A and B are shown apart, each in its own frame.
Chain A
Amino acid sequence: MKNMLSNKFIAIGGAIIVFMILVAVFAPLLTAYDYGMVDLPNKQQVPNKNHIMGTDLYGRDVWCRIAYGARVSLFVSFAAVAIAIFFGSILGIIAGYLKGVVDFTLSRIIDIMMAFPPLLLSLIIGVSLGTSIRNMCISIGVPLIPMFFRVARGVTLSIGERTYVMAAKSMGSGSIKIMIKHILPNVLPQIFVVLSLGMGGAILAEASLGFLGLGIPQPTPSWGLIVNEGKLFMFSAPWTTGFSGAFIALTVLGFNLLGDGLRDYLDPKLKNLEGQS
């Protein structure tokens, strides 16, 4: 663990993520306002000592909404990634283990999913399911499935031929048992690396859908929604979108750094290459 933290990327990225999680968890303690409290006389105030990030069109405290927004955005992103990991890794392991027709069919289906820009796929799934928090998790999660599928399939293919897997096979272990006992433990660390990058992608997707006005609906504040509410006033009152966008970027940066760090850490080949230089 100590060794792991000596990787700068993991340390910085991890610190950002921990900070965001703390903000989400302790949102009620960190803010003096109610995220939904309308206060029209104080609308669109520039950041001041009462409202450190200003107020929005309805006089609501922006910092308060961002802090509560962290809850929604982080939760939705995490749930989306969980969906993607569940389906992606199960299908990936099955494809990589059984090969042949199963692999071919699953790989073509994944090809079809990858034929869409991820945001477009989220968009049409979101629109067709209707906007709700649950549906948002699905529509953000589905385009992330190929990412996990490919990792799981690749790792499974590479270890499927190893002696201990062959030995387990020859001793008559069932396929499902082999996949769970021998393959899954090898797939998980790689999934872990991609998880972090996937979280970054999910946060961005939630924000972009929100920006387009097709994200998580009112009244629950999500970062995407806050961005969307402020975007029309970017010239006159840029703080709403400005601060919420900065939080989104910082969180994505945290996940990206963490993912990069973990990849370097778990892939010594790459690490050596960087170390040489």
Chain B
Amino acid sequence: MKRYILSRILFAIPTIIGVFILVFFIVRLIPGDPAVTMLGSNATNEQIERYREQHGHDKPIAVQFGIAFKNFLKGDMGQSLSWYRPVREVIFEKLPRTAELAFFGILFGTLAALLLGVTAAVHRGRWPDLLLTAFASLGMSLPTFYIGLWVLVIFAMKLKIIPVISSFGSGVSYWQSLFGPVLTMALGECALITRTTRSSMLEILNEDFIRTARSKGLSEKIVLYKHALGNALIPIVTVVGYSLATAFGGAIVLETVFARNGIGKLLIDGINVRDYPLIQGTTIVIAILMVLINIITDIIYGLVDPRIRVGENK
């Protein structure tokens, strides 16, 4: 198991370096000049020259990359052009808003999906299964923003139980601010995980050890939720991990829908004002988070499956 974890981490290091390289160059391609963005369009050539010199933009791109990478390793992601503060500071201020959205969205989505997926598998081919399969297919086809907009229409406009702007403070409680985006994310993710749970359960329920569990006189509840789901969880872990990892990407859309101040909205705002260091910083942080979540998923996968955790010793 130690070797397994170590290998996952080792494989992630080149990926993270690659992510940095890719983002660095893609962001350099963005049309426009940071100096102009910063100083305004009526800045003199001299001012622009001086700005470039100060920020090392006059140096060859390879040198710029070297400096940026060195700074990145030290945790310095530059100065935000629109926030006039270090990018790192701004990102870490917003990150918790996105993290709690992703966490609760995936948590509730997964819990509901386990229940629905098991129900569908148990009633395979009959109406609860057909209904749930239809729900899952539909849920996977609806764009996140679309679900989000209808959640707003229903809960903010008609029922008036959540704010239109889901940032807490000024009369909006923590849970009220989370309700809309979390519900939307949970609905979307629930669909995919329900499907995985269903197909995984169907496969497991055909296994011999399920017959053994029944023959022991265990109640159907224990057979389903302990013996079958216990095994079905192995593939589910992968899908939940994937969902959590991509949730930070989904947050870009959700935070825009609900006007929630997380890193997703931070990125979009950054793009709109051409705040290059901020775009670069948020993109890298989201990608690194995704890599880290994938490592954790792999580790949990190993923990859930004793065949990986303990290994063979016949």
Residue ranges of A at the interface with B (Cβ–Cβ < 8 Å): 108-109, 111-112, 115-120, 123-125, 127-130, 200, 204, 207-208, 211-214, 227, 231, 234-235, 238, 241, 245, 248-250, 252-253, 256-257, 260, 273-274, 276-277
Please tell me if the beta carbons of B152 and A116 are within 8 angstroms of each other in the complex. no
Residue of B whose beta carbon sits closest to that of A109? B18
Cα A231 to Cα B140 in complex, Å, equals: 21
Cα A241 to Cα B143 in complex, Å, equals: 12
Q: Given A112-B22, A127-B271, A128-B30, does the pair A120, B142 have CB atoms closer than 8 Å?
A: no
| In-complex Cβ contact of A241 among B138, B149, B252, B286 (8 A) | B149
The 7 A-B pairs at the shortest CB distance, nearest first, are namely A117-B249, A112-B18, A253-B141, A128-B29, A245-B146, A252-B141, A128-B30
The interface residues of chain B lying within 8 Å CB-to-CB of A115 are 15-16, 18-19, 287-288, 290-291
The interface residues of chain B lying within 8 Å CB-to-CB of A253 are 137-138, 141
> Which of A119, A127, A213, A245 is the most central at the interface, judged by chain B CB atoms within 10 Å of its CB?
A127
> Which of B15, B23, B137, B141 is the most central at the interface, judged by chain A CB atoms within 10 Å of its CB?
B141
| Total B residues in contact with A, Cβ cutoff 8 Å | 50
Rounded to whole Å, the gap between the CB of A247 and the closest CB of chain B is 11
Cα A231 to Cα B16 in complex, Å, equals: 36
Rounded to whole Å, the gap between the CB of B134 and the closest CB of chain A is 10
Cα A277 to Cα B23 in complex, Å, equals: 48
Cα A119 to Cα B149 in complex, Å, equals: 19
Q: Does B215 contact A (CB under 8 A)?
A: no
User: For chain A, what secondary structure do more than half of its interface residues adopt (helix, strand, loop), or is it mixed?
Assistant: helix
Tell me which residues from 224 to 250 in chain B have a Cβ below 8 Å from any Cβ of chain A: 245-246, 248-250
Please tell me if the beta carbons of A116 and B18 are within 8 angstroms of each other in the complex. no
The interface residues of chain A lying within 8 Å CB-to-CB of B272 are 213
Please tell me if the beta carbons of A273 and B271 are within 8 angstroms of each other in the complex. no
Q: Does B190 contact A (CB under 8 A)?
A: no
Please tell me if the beta carbons of B268 and A212 are within 8 angstroms of each other in the complex. yes
Rounded to whole Å, the gap between the CB of A145 and the closest CB of chain B is 13
Tell me which residues from 120 to 153 in chain B have a Cβ below 8 Å from any Cβ of chain A: 124-125, 137-138, 140-146, 149, 152-153
Q: Does B203 contact A (CB under 8 A)?
A: yes
Q: Given A108-B14, A234-B149, A234-B152, does the pair A116, B249 have CB atoms closer than 8 Å?
A: yes
Cα A130 to Cα B29 in complex, Å, equals: 9
Please tell me if the beta carbons of A117 and B246 are within 8 angstroms of each other in the complex. yes
B245-273 interface mask toward A, CB cutoff 8 Å, 1 = contact, 0 = none? Answer: 11011101100100000000001100110
Rounded to whole Å, the gap between the CB of A207 and the closest CB of chain B is 5
Please tell me if the beta carbons of B137 and A256 are within 8 angstroms of each other in the complex. yes
Residue of B whose beta carbon sits closest to that of A13? B137
Please tell me if the beta carbons of B146 and A248 are within 8 angstroms of each other in the complex. yes
The interface residues of chain A lying within 8 Å CB-to-CB of B165 are none
Cα A213 to Cα B268 in complex, Å, equals: 9
Apart from A234-B149, A252-B142, what 12 extra A-B contacts exist at CB < 8 Å? A111-B18, A115-B287, A117-B250, A120-B267, A127-B30, A129-B29, A207-B145, A208-B144, A245-B143, A249-B141, A260-B137, A277-B124
Residue of B whose beta carbon sits closest to that of A257? B137
Please tell me if the beta carbons of B287 and A116 are within 8 angstroms of each other in the complex. yes
Residue of B whose beta carbon sits closest to that of A200? B141
| In-complex Cβ contact of A273 among B27, B31, B206, B283 (8 A) | B206
The interface residues of chain A lying within 8 Å CB-to-CB of B153 are 234-235, 238
Residue of A whose beta carbon sits closest to that of B290? A115
Please tell me if the beta carbons of B248 and A117 are within 8 angstroms of each other in the complex. yes
